Structure 1
């Protein structure tokens, strides 16, 4: 991913040896031997179909997170409309698109998959995906902890087909499952009746429509590897492993972060890289920060990117409190196991704003403040079960702009706070991810929640393309002001080498009202010092002795001649060394 070493680290022989060893770690000698032969056949099959082309991350890599049917227009498929939006509005500043599950599904807006290798006809076809791929790198979702109860796999299992025997986890209800870590409050086991009338109590981590796969059966792994390689064949540049922390179950354990889970991720990566080493693996694990970063592995064997789950709630908390102390402390402690991996930085997504990542960063009172702010701003809160009776906040369901400001506040303040948050994501080390609704300034969509009775629907509105276009082009509208400012930030970011995802960074402490981060260009002796005023009042800045002036703010082309200057409320500056002949304002 990062450099030439990534493509030369393993010979084919070494990679196959790693795959064999991973299988031996997970399965019995007999099963691992059978699985290895099948994996070799899969690799050979897909190597004939996939043309591998090396790819290296740069500051140009920015990922838009969107549903396949995020925008719609009469007379064309939703994916075709999405392609039109991308080409008309963001092609000059965004090079990658994470299209949330676009496969046939039964619930959860796509995350309860009925058929892995199809495209939902309500969204479009593989031809539409191919059209988008012509202009953008695409992240595919690989939802392989569970499938829909309406899937062929599960229905063949209930029909007692030998091919799908032990594909799912049937548990004696008397089994002690009290140690299992839960991301939901729904029952862990769901009762089904098979074709012979036998009751099956099936493991359902995320709800009764999503039945968990049984990776203890190596044939399940083979099916999943075939799906992964199929996505690579269809043009996936990045693979997002959804809820991957939960895939291995063992009674008596928490059934999360199991050593065999990590081994399976390493195996998935090596199998994909045996076919196309440029494909990047991203893990999505909404868990405490220390557990989350464990999915980097040794820095060269598991995820190449990890969702930075602590950033969204911590950033919101800091803006709401007008205090950067917690954010600065956390950012100072960010470390990576190698220079070949990085964070996937974001503030909002199709899910809520997960708060588990800050359980050990914010105390109980601070977490309660965040929860109450969400509710006061018209948002909702989802919980997870802890044991049989206790529950704890799992995520905040709220559009990010509404979380940062009460919807009744003046639009000027709302835009300033929102842009502050998004600009900070753009300068953090790693790759930025931008949720579609954050880009266009969407607010809480309560009507959807009333219809679906699902909290997450509040930030999943599907937009009429003509109506969206009107809002983005209406002079003075919140959406237009925010969108134009956002695009300006993106256009500047992609041209600054210091913002390369893998480049070094330094967090400075300039007081509890300001967040300060310095990014360093690798190939040239250059840096950018980004300052953010989190307060609604002016703040005086005194630059450290080691920072030399004059500087220039590349956002406004303003020359900074003194080490003392004032930041306006919620002002952002990206400072570089001033060079003669630059066009600036004093």
Structure 2
């Protein structure tokens, strides 16, 4: 009994430490100990909660997630979440262990990221029973849209009326405040003027005027989100994606990005979630320059995973220029993730190809050339506001399949091979892979959705008729079927290689600017895989002696099936071909 008291006492003190660090400089009077106890109670943790071991890897090479909207697949007379589950069961052959369902709550704009009610499932999609059904068979990632909510939510309506809950939930500022340094990803005015029961107020809107920023200086807001996290755990959520969390804490006069209080909120949520559900994970969605992004690992005490946001722009740039120099330098600069943490790798998403994470890695001229190439392939570009009032490209909006249909010279015949090459590289890199449903299916730019919605991001948010998709995937002549089968084949190979564990060793190979290569070694050192991709449109020779193969071993390319018996062999690597070479 004494041991239990000591352990739970440490947990309470740990939570209190987080609370004190968050609220050390806020004007609201509070008892930090009482707030800590209240948070433990909301999460279902009490005086007898045991501490949990830290630094545990809850993942392996068998893990891969699909990223999708709840309504990406539609069938008449059926809730989309039911259709989604049917697709996962019938078509992914057990190769996907998890699914990230983008916001499935009632919403007013931004395709779900202006949440009306965090506690409900959008009735068009289904209900909590459908969410639970998916979560029973797949690791479920859900968005905790923590920075803002809908300007039409009950909370915000109550804010306008001066009623609770919501009266003090939203961050306000004065137009006279020094806001010149504030970093944000949009060009719309930061402050929205509204009339409230207490007079004119100016509410803070990092993204849009329908996405009103919450004020975490009010501990009641924190209580609400801890309660929401508990509800999500109870409904099967095991991975929390902390949406736009970098903007959470605001201090006028600063850039209001990645402030220490924001990091402390992440640490607090980590403590609460991992004690309530030991295998639950936090992943931070921080689309910012690389060093700022990496800071959300903390000392292995913040996010379990961070998005590898620099990977999409660098990999696309590599494949359209035929030069891997920047990608290789970036990979060499990336520190190995500590035990208990991992990178979350992706190369396409519901948003677009973010350009901020490439700042400092690609020159302005190279970024301009990338933007121009994507324009030629049918893409659009979203902008963000700068301190001087000007704007700068922030994001390329294009389907990945169209983005890789050619090079800087224009479209060519290598689109499919280039697209598969991108996924072969991503699947072999250190980290956990996430594959957007429209990459899995090779979906093209959807211009009709752009026109209908008025938003560039809709270009990569196609909705498939599920009966039509089934017919397409059963056709041998379909490009979508060919993409789907080839990516599934890569996933099948990946999950059997211990060298592809998300935390396995990774070293760069130096094979010139047109051959991109790296070496993975399993944690137990029993397997090595040499991953080499020709990122050019010309065949290239690869001397096996250049990749340090042991001469006494026989080697196999896992993808193509070729055997190698001498390190003196020279292999011709075809345009956009990838080799995964391991000993046999």
Shorter-chain TM-score above 0.5: yes
| Structure 2: runs of 5+ lacking an equivalent | none
Deviation (angstroms), 1:32: 2.3
Find the counterpart in structure 2 of residue 581 from structure 1: none
Q: Is the 8 A contact 2:155 2:167 kept in 1?
A: no
State the distance in 1 between where 2:396 and 2:88 align: 28
Find the counterpart in structure 1 of residue 95 from structure 2: 93
State the distance in 2 between where 1:323 and 1:463 align: 35
Structure 1 residue 18 and structure 2 residue 19: aligned?
no
Residue of structure 2 aligned with 1:69, choices 68, 71, 94 = 71
Find the counterpart in structure 2 of residue 367 from structure 1: 367
Q: How does 1:253-292 map to 2 (within 5 A)?
A: 253-292=254-293
Find the counterpart in structure 1 of residue 229 from structure 2: 228
Q: How does 1:193-272 map to 2 (within 5 A)?
A: 193-195=195-197, 198-272=199-273
2:572 alignment partner, SS class? strand
Query: What CA deviation, in whole Å up to 9, does each residue of 1:77-107 have, x standing for no partner?
Result: 0000001110011142111000000001001
State the distance in 2 between where 1:479 and 1:81 align: 19
Cα–Cα, structure 1 residues 13 and 484, in superposed 2: closer, same or farther, change >3 Å?
same
Cα–Cα, structure 1 residues 269 and 427, in superposed 2: closer, same or farther, change >3 Å?
same
Cα–Cα, structure 1 residues 541 and 464, in superposed 2: closer, same or farther, change >3 Å?
same
Find the counterpart in structure 2 of residue 4 from structure 1: none
Find the counterpart in structure 2 of residue 321 from structure 1: 321
Q: Is the 8 A contact 2:337 2:343 kept in 1?
A: no
Deviation (angstroms), 1:30: 2.8
TM-score (norm 2): 0.93
Find the counterpart in structure 2 of residue 352 from structure 1: 352
Q: Is the 8 A contact 2:374 2:380 kept in 1?
A: yes
Find the counterpart in structure 2 of residue 576 from structure 1: 582
Q: Is the 8 A contact 1:382 1:397 kept in 2?
A: yes
Q: Is the 8 A contact 2:287 2:356 kept in 1?
A: yes
Deviation (angstroms), 1:568: 0.9
Q: Is the 8 A contact 1:531 1:573 kept in 2?
A: yes
| Structure 1: runs of 5+ lacking an equivalent | 1-7, 579-586
Structure 1 residue 561 and structure 2 residue 565: aligned?
yes
State the distance in 2 between where 1:545 and 1:202 align: 57
Q: Is the 8 A contact 1:35 1:219 kept in 2?
A: no
More moved, 14-23 vs 340-349: 14-23
Deviation (angstroms), 1:192: 1.7
Find the counterpart in structure 2 of residue 522 from structure 1: 523
Residue of structure 2 aligned with 1:79, choices 75, 78, 81 = 81
Q: Is the 8 A contact 2:509 2:547 kept in 1?
A: no
2:216 alignment partner, SS class? coil
Q: How does 1:160-179 map to 2 (within 5 A)?
A: 160-179=162-181
Deviation (angstroms), 1:406: 4.7
Tell me the matched-pair count.
565
Measured on the aligned residues, the alpha-carbon RMSD in Å equals 2.1
State the distance in 2 between where 1:155 and 1:470 align: 46
More moved, 21-30 vs 68-77: 21-30
Query: What CA deviation, in whole Å up to 9, does each residue of 1:318-351 have, x standing for no partner?
Result: 1001011111111111103522211100000001
Deviation (angstroms), 1:15: 2.9
Query: What CA deviation, in whole Å up to 9, does each residue of 1:406-445 have, x standing for no partner?
Result: 59946x5111000000111100001000000000000111
Find the counterpart in structure 2 of residue 582 from structure 1: none
Cα–Cα, structure 1 residues 162 and 64, in superposed 2: closer, same or farther, change >3 Å?
closer
Deviation (angstroms), 1:388: 4.3
Q: Is the 8 A contact 1:552 1:560 kept in 2?
A: yes
TM-score (norm 1): 0.93
Q: How does 1:304-453 map to 2 (within 5 A)?
A: 304-336=304-336, 338-406=338-406, 409=411, 413-453=414-454
State the distance in 1 between where 2:176 and 2:260 align: 26
State the distance in 2 between where 1:55 and 1:272 align: 16
State the distance in 2 between where 1:96 and 1:150 align: 32
State the distance in 2 between where 1:298 and 1:364 align: 33
Q: Is the 8 A contact 1:46 1:233 kept in 2?
A: no
State the distance in 2 between where 1:13 and 1:442 align: 53
Q: Is the 8 A contact 1:31 1:218 kept in 2?
A: no
Q: Is the 8 A contact 2:336 2:503 kept in 1?
A: no
Query: What CA deviation, in whole Å up to 9, does each residue of 1:507-551 have, x standing for no partner?
Result: 111111011111111235211111100011111112337322431
